[in-house]
Amino acid sequence: MTGALSPEDLSACPAPLADRSTITLAHGGGGRLMRGLIDRQFVTAFSNAHLDQLHDGAVVDVAGARLAFTMDSYVVHPLFFPGGSIGTLAVNGTVNDLAMCGARPLYLSCGFLLEEGLPLETLSRIVDSMREAAGQADVQLVTGDTKVVDRGKGDGVFISTAGIGIVEHDRAIGPAQVRPGDVVILSGDIGRHGIAIMAVREGLEFETTIESDCSPLTGAVLPLLDAGIDVHCLRDLTRGGLASALVEIAESAGLHISIVEEKIPVRPDVQGACEILGYDPIYVANEGRFVCFVPAGEATRALEIMRGTVPGRDATVIGSVAEDGDHVVTMTSRIGVDRVVDMLSGEQLPRIC
Amino acid sequence: MTGALSPEDLSACPAPLADRSTITLAHGGGGRLMRGLIDRQFVTAFSNAHLDQLHDGAVVDVAGARLAFTMDSYVVHPLFFPGGSIGTLAVNGTVNDLAMCGARPLYLSCGFLLEEGLPLETLSRIVDSMREAAGQADVQLVTGDTKVVDRGKGDGVFISTAGIGIVEHDRAIGPAQVRPGDVVILSGDIGRHGIAIMAVREGLEFETTIESDCSPLTGAVLPLLDAGIDVHCLRDLTRGGLASALVEIAESAGLHISIVEEKIPVRPDVQGACEILGYDPIYVANEGRFVCFVPAGEATRALEIMRGTVPGRDATVIGSVAEDGDHVVTMTSRIGVDRVVDMLSGEQLPRIC
């Protein structure tokens, strides 16, 4: 399901999924199908310089200040999982989108969509986890909204969180700034969030409990910027995993990204779970990992800074950028074979965030 | 259901609704029960100077600029109704929350929560209505998010919209600024949105089609501020109607608001529908109406300015503010009797916005 289909394989599909006339779960998977939906429906309708960048958030000028503005909805199932809850996701996910714009997160607003019959005690536990996460990420929840839908028209709780942050530097950060020769730094091991959710959802038991990596990334990002590192692009790895994030950047930047499989940290328990479940870790969701593109000459200093922080303590270089005409991502496997890595085409795990 | 229970009646309830342990549709009604939920769950957990004001949005300082920041989720059923759609609501509702902060709306972000099986054509129609509404309100949609939930775990489309706007004056606007002697100006006739939704939902037919009043209010608000009118408080009338908005303000301000029923504009077709359905128009939802509190001495000039605008062309004074110890709203009825107006206690029409 997440194998490495070549572009030829994909174009040979007789009836592309994207041509269906209704929304499928795969449209929410963070991969190719979602990207198509966003391009055709939203970018076409609302086209403007900010939206067209398809970044995790928009950076806008307001009265001389550079603000980052972002929004995410959270529909994770189940509501609680090892290492977090829909509440921790709803804070950290939006905090991380702001961090990926190179911004210091300041304020959040939350919209709660509650299903009739939800125990108030469940809501309290979620709110408690949000308060704790907001404290850790040093952001204030300043406004919000509550709606209730009839039983059977929701699923307990959905949360939408918007955030604003301040960009305290002049740097432009995004796929368009990626340059040939840049190195790709990954902030830590991948796949924990997806496997944690999958395990609790399917009642799987491993020797150890695999906890979600859900956490705020500002602690690793802001020191890079404060130190004046020439950060070209930042992207957190969520739905669609490392692979989909890199493919999106390669396509937007019009450059070739090559990564080396054995450089990508995957914990043995996560690797084992992936093998049992038939997943490739590079497609599995994360909620506390990001990639950072910097010039090769700054890689050592960037790594040093990141490794001095909690969210970046296992940071490592996993690849580099070159100017090939193909705009794809390739990965050198453990046995030395190069293969093209495509974006997740549909869904892997629905409602992972 | 929407009658004028006195505070004594309410306190005599043997088992207050608010003590139930699960979420009910009434928690989303915009009235007393929702206010209790917000106070107990959210304000307690996240208490800060911005949130505690319980205004339609927060006004925050960012790098020397005064920004308004707001968020609303939209779950209206059905998705399309005379005069609008969930898309027009999702733009105008958030634009109006910013306007009520005295801000010029600038940017929106939207989170789409789609149910598996939603026809893409339906989504396109909604997106088209949003594009049109955003153009009319002169705001840009700059970022967004899309999530898909399994069939039976949503209801077609829910939309969350956050907005940021700029406050271009030094004025503080909110219930705390309301003063004894202020007059209450209502921007136009009430009840159309609620009745429009009710009619299409229940298949009711009246002689004329009653269209929702859904529209952006900036056109009436910004000229007041630009003209230097000493605006004390602005509040748009949504769930819970005129009554709930005024009760919230009276309680927050610690003042008495008295209004005169025959001064409140209600179209004959809306009045007729309310009589058939057993509703009191002051509790029926609106999506393009607001109240404005100004000192009596500025009322004439404020009315003149508002009446020169499209959203305020039928503006009229409906009451005034006095310093009584009771902090309630009273209404003088058409037969000259004063009665206490309470907030909507639970739900009138679920999923009205």
Output the DSSP codes for A290-302.
EEEEEEGGGHHHH
Inter-chain residue contact A146 with B60, CB threshold 8 Å: no
CB B211 within 8 A of CB B152: no
Q: Is the pLDDT of residue B135 over 80?
A: yes
The alpha carbon of residue B256 is apart from the nearest alpha carbon of chain A, in Å, by 26
The answer on pLDDT for B230 being more than 80 is: yes
Q: Which residues contact B117 (CB under 8 A, 6 or more apart)?
A: A22, A23, B151
Mean pLDDT, all residues of chain A? 91
Residue A4: pLDDT above 60? no
- Residue of A246 and A348 predicted with greater confidence: A246
Mean pLDDT of B185-212: 92
pLDDT confidence band for B251 (50 / 70 / 90)? very high
Which residues are paired to B108 by β-bridges? B141, B163
Angle at B48 between CA B47 and CA B52, to 5 degrees: 75
d(CA A348, CA A197): 12
> DSSP class of residue A142?
E
Q: Which residue has the higher pLDDT, A76 or B41?
A: A76
Higher pLDDT, B7 or B56: B56
Q: Which residues, 6+ apart, have CB-to-CB distance to B42 below 8 Å?
A: A127, A141, A144, A146, B51
pLDDT value at residue B347: 66
Q: How confident is the model at residue B13 (pLDDT cuts 50, 70, 90)?
A: very low
B293 touches chain A (CB under 8 A): no
pLDDT bracket for residue B18 (50, 70, 90): very low
- Residues on chain B touching A153 (C-beta within 8 angstroms): 154-155
pLDDT score for A8: 40
**Arithmetic mean of pLDDT, A259-285:** 95
**What is the pLDDT confidence band of residue A344, given thresholds at 50, 70 and 90?**
confident
The amino acid occupying position A167 is V
Per-residue pLDDT tens for A118-165? 999 999 999 999 999 999 999 999 999 999 999 999 999 999 999 999
pLDDT of residue B17: 45
* The pLDDT value given to residue A288: 97
- Compare CB distances from B23 to A27, A109, A117 and report the shortest one's residue: A117
For residue B10, pLDDT over 70 is answered with no
Provide the 10 A C-beta neighbour count for residue B320: 18
Q: Do A21 and B67 touch (CB under 8 A)?
A: no
Chain B interface includes A16 (CB < 8 A): no
Instruction: Write out residues 56-85 of B within 8 Å (CB-CB) of A.
Output: 57-58, 60, 62-65, 67, 69-75
Amino acid B2: pLDDT: 39
ipTM associated with this complex: 0.90
Please write the tens of the pLDDT for every residue from A55-114.
778 999 998 889 999 999 999 999 999 999 999 999 999 999 999 999 999 999 999 999
Task: Evaluate if residue A171 carries a pLDDT over 80.
Answer: yes
Q: Percentage of residues in chain B with pLDDT exceeding 70?
A: 93
- Are B128 and A162 a contacting pair at CB < 8 A? no
From CA A161, how far away is CA B249, in angstroms rounded?
27
Among B20, B23, B33, most A C-beta atoms within 10 A, so best to mutate, is B23
pLDDT score at B77: 94
Q: What is the pTM of this model?
A: 0.91
Best B27, B32, B114, B145 member to test A by mutation, with max A CBs in 10 Å, is: B145
Give residue A347's pLDDT band: very low, low, confident or very high (50, 70, 90).
low
Backbone angles phi, psi at B3, to 5 degrees: -65, 170
Whether the per-residue pLDDT at B14 is higher than 70: the answer is: no
- The mean per-residue pLDDT over the stretch B174-201 comes to 96
Reported confidence tier of residue B1, pLDDT bands at 50, 70, 90:
very low
| Tokens coding A51 | 């939206």
Instruction: Give the pLDDT band (50/70/90) at residue A11.
Output: very low
**pLDDT of A41 over the 90 cut:** no
